[in-house]
Structures are given as C-alpha cells and as structure tokens.
Amino acid sequence: MSDDDVSEIEKPANSLETQGDSVIDEMADEATSVVDEADGTDESDVLEDGLGAPTLAAALEALLLVTEQPMSAAELASLVRCPQDDVVATLEELAADYTESGRGFDLRQVAGGWRFYTRGDCAEVVERFVRDGQQSKLSQAALETLAVIAYRQPVARSRIAAIRGVSVDGVIRTLTTRGLIVESGQEAGSGALLYMTTDLFLDRLGIASLEELPPVMDYLPDLDTLEDFLDQTSS
C-alpha cells in the first residue's frame, strides 16, 4: 500500500477528531454560558440594562422596601442586572451600616431571602402604635358605612355610596384594615365587589349573629314626622 493510500485512509479519522474537538469546544462554551447566567445575569444584561437606580445599594433598598416577602440574592441580582456576589456583598454592607448607625430597622436574611424588619429594641413603640390603632374609635362616616353594610350585605361599594351620598372608598379601606368587613364575591352583571361584615364585627358588638341586630325600622321616623320634615326642608 502506498503512502498516498495510507494518507487517504487517515483523512476521515483526522476529520472525525477535528469534529469531536469542535463539539467539545461548543459544549464548553455552552457550559460557560450557563455558569455566567446562574444568577440571572450575563455581560449583555449588565451593559445594556443597567441598575435602573443611582447605585446598587439604592436599587436594592428600593426593591426591599416594596416587597411583601423575603427576596433571594439571585432574584435581586436578576432585577438589578448585577452579579450575585456583588449583590450579597452590598446587602451585607447595608445590614452592617444600619446596625452601626442605630437605625430603627435592620436588614435580615431569613427564609432564604432578604427583607427589612423593625429593630428588636424598638418593639415597645411599635406595639404602642398597633395597640392604639386597634383601640381608636371609628369616625362617624365609618360607623354609618358599617351600618349600611351590616343591614344590606352583601352590598356593592356603589350602592353604599348612593345610600350615604358621598364617596366611601377611604372608609371601606379603613373598615377592611380593621377586619370589620371583607370582600364577598362579585355582583352579578356588573362584576362589582361585594362587601359583608366579619365575625370580628359580631364580636365587637357582642352578638352571636346578624339576626340579633336591632330592627332598623325602630330607628326610622314615622310617616307623619317624615312628611313634616320634608315640608320644612323644601320650604
């Protein structure tokens, strides 16, 4: 067999070896890409999107102020488009700074994420705020709105406003926050939210059920008195 024949036989083997090297290189590149994006970021993200805030610390503070649940470092890194290690280092610096400066809040890592909490030695004033808020009296507007809901429930906000003759948005929020009313489905046709009273409402009144509410007719004027009142207001 001539040298040329041997060369021709070796060519496919060399070609396969070259192709194998190429495949290995491509797999390595893909693996590197996966590693680079493990925290949700890559170089193009950092260069194109930026922080969206003056500094990394400011970006993290803004996100943590609006979250309702602890946020993981990976999630924060994805949102600010920065490497996760930089995010963790900044979070730790912020937490140390809050503690050193004696702020009324601190930054803690709990449940696999980061979140702001009030500082332990401020518990007394926070407790005072919560306790006083629970004991404060309802306004006249809130009492009137609560009465409408109690007697007409489930009732839509628009219906309550029509009965009272004023907007009740703020009062509805107050009563919901106090736990005296809750949403109770939607009105057929309009889709408006309906509201009803809660067990806490019954507890505050000291009654077992809505059937124990006093009959509203007992507190309405009789027809003669009502006609006299209408005559006086129309004259």
Give the count of alpha carbons within 13 A of 29, CB side only: 6
Q: Does the model's pTM come out above 0.75?
A: no
Q: Is the pLDDT of residue 46 over 70?
A: no
Rounded Cα distance between 7 and 102, Å, is 79
> Is 46 exposed, middle or buried (CB count within 10 Å of its CB: 0-12, 13-18, 19+)?
middle
Residue 7 included in any domain = no
Of 89 and 18, the structure prediction assigns the larger pLDDT to: 89
Domain count for the chain, please give it.
2
Rounded Cα distance between 84 and 88, Å, is 6
Whether 151 and 116 map to the same domain: the answer is no
CATH number for the domain spanning 160: value is 1.10.10.10
Q: Is the pLDDT of residue 195 over 60?
A: yes
Comparing C-alpha atoms, which of 73, 70, 151 is closest to residue 116? 70
Residue 63 included in any domain = yes
Q: Is the pLDDT of residue 68 over 90?
A: no
Q: What is the DSSP letter of 157?
A: H
**Distances in Å between the alpha carbon of 114 and those of 58, 100, 174?**
15, 18, 30
* Model confidence pLDDT, tens digit, residues 8-45: 545 444 554 555 555 555 555 554 444 444 444 444 44
Whether 223 and 146 map to the same domain: the answer is yes
Q: Is the pLDDT of residue 2 over 80?
A: no
Range of the domain at 95: 45-121
Q: What pLDDT is stored for residue 57 in this prediction?
A: 95
Q: Is the pLDDT of residue 235 over 80?
A: no
